[in-house]
Chain A
């Protein structure tokens, strides 16, 4: 192993050991910034990727994107046109933006995403796609003005990113568990499960021995907790959060 490759391996092992013991999102962001900075990455985002191309925000675990870029990205609806997102759904191996096939980046919408990113200092980047333990798509994506990533470093950045994701995921789970306020009550989950298999509010009331308007109240409260706009949306979101199971 060359000296520089050895250094890349040492740095990655050290960062991984740190990720495993850190307990706040801020601490993981700090350590990941330090580690990725070596290779010219100045920004990164650790997030789940919703299939429905909706808003990204509820899925974000660690946000270290430049100021203003997330707002611009959301407002412009870039998520549905971002070629990196598309590529993540097709591979489980890391890829560099500049290696994306031209047919993915040359479309009008896709090239607009990439051009605007450049204005925020995101000139080239690396995406590490992954699946969480439930099989949902997620990514650790990182970028900068000028990245320097020899193959041996890239392989270690890939693995370190998976560990950084693991830390963010562990911390995220324990925090949402402790916060608790957005979790469905047993009754709400029950009502939503019957709704999910096609029962009307009246039928759910009959099954559970409660009034129809009580069922509707529960469904309203579910929408508030999940930030969803209708019952179909609630079912989808509750499934994604593992609050109900069909």
Chain B
């Protein structure tokens, strides 16, 4: 069963393999598939300036198969994509920066887990993981730089996307800056649409140390 693991500075030493897989998958998807060539790296690992010690990785892991999806959250008090690269996307409301707002980037689902003509359950699991994590850490909002086509989806999921400014057109795609509200209602609606019952997290996100760490400490 696929579970979402929240990986931050406190437990990342337990997830060397998963984090390594995730950087390679990011390279395969963003450089290989989507051809964002400025992210290409000779070692086949996609890493950018926002992969710092403060980044949180929410990785969907399938036992026996490894990482099948995931996403990244970066504190908005740190340098992040909207503040450093696309501040003009927030030319009306300003770039949100607060301790309880993180920026959401690098959502991905491996090709084998995408389903043509229907919803990808793995994507739904990652969305629920983001909401559960934010609710457990009392993060009220996420900010996002994304293509405009996300807006109808985020509205239907109950994430309440709020525009921060005018869009820009880059490589033929309309890009917007938005915030989304991380609420129980959003979690309910997202679970309903993806038919997900209950938590998707590997351990209760309130527990900072995962089970395997305690085992590791004992041995």
Contact = CB atoms under 8 A, between A and B. Distances in A.
B117 A155 contact: no
B148 to A, nearest CB: 6
Nearest to B147: A92
Given A9-B166, A156-B166, A133 B151 contact: no
Contacts of A245: 195
B42 interface: no
A134 B119 contact: yes
Contact of B156 (A152, A158, A159, A166): A166
A92 B166 contact: no
B10 interface: no
A20 B181 CA distance: 14
Given A9-B92, A16-B163, A158-B167, A132 B156 contact: yes
Interface in B119-140: 119
A203 to B, nearest CB: 25
A1 interface: yes
Interface string A110-147: 00000000000000000000111111001000000000
Contacts of B15: none
Contacts, number: 68
Interface in A169-224: 169-170
Contacts of B165: 9
Contacts of A1: 91, 166
Given A13-B92, A159-B151, A163-B151, A169 B163 contact: no
B152 A166 contact: yes
A93 interface: yes
B174 interface: yes
B173 interface: yes
A163 B169 CA distance: 18
B117 A93 contact: no
Contact of A158 (B92, B117, B119, B174): B174
A135 B118 contact: yes
Nearest to A131: B149
Contacts of B147: 92
A145 B155 CA distance: 32
Contact of B155 (A13, A152, A158, A166): A166
A165 B150 CA distance: 12
A155 B157 CA distance: 24
A92 B173 CA distance: 8
Nearest to A155: B167
B92 A130 contact: no
A13 B156 contact: no
Nearest to A133: B156
Contact of A165 (B152, B163, B172, B195): B152
B174 A131 contact: no
B77 interface: no
Nearest to A94: B174
B90 interface: no
B149 A130 contact: yes
Nearest to B117: A135
Interface string B72-103: 00000000000000000001100000000000
Interface of B: 91-92, 117-119, 147-149, 151-153, 155-157, 160, 163, 165-167, 169, 172-174, 176, 193, 195
11 contacts: A93-B173, A93-B174, A131-B149, A132-B153, A133-B193, A134-B118, A134-B119, A135-B117, A152-B166, A163-B151, A245-B195
Given A152-B166, A245-B195, 18 more contacts: A13-B163, A93-B173, A93-B174, A130-B152, A131-B149, A133-B156, A133-B157, A133-B193, A134-B119, A135-B118, A155-B169, A158-B148, A158-B174, A159-B151, A162-B155, A163-B151, A165-B152, A166-B152
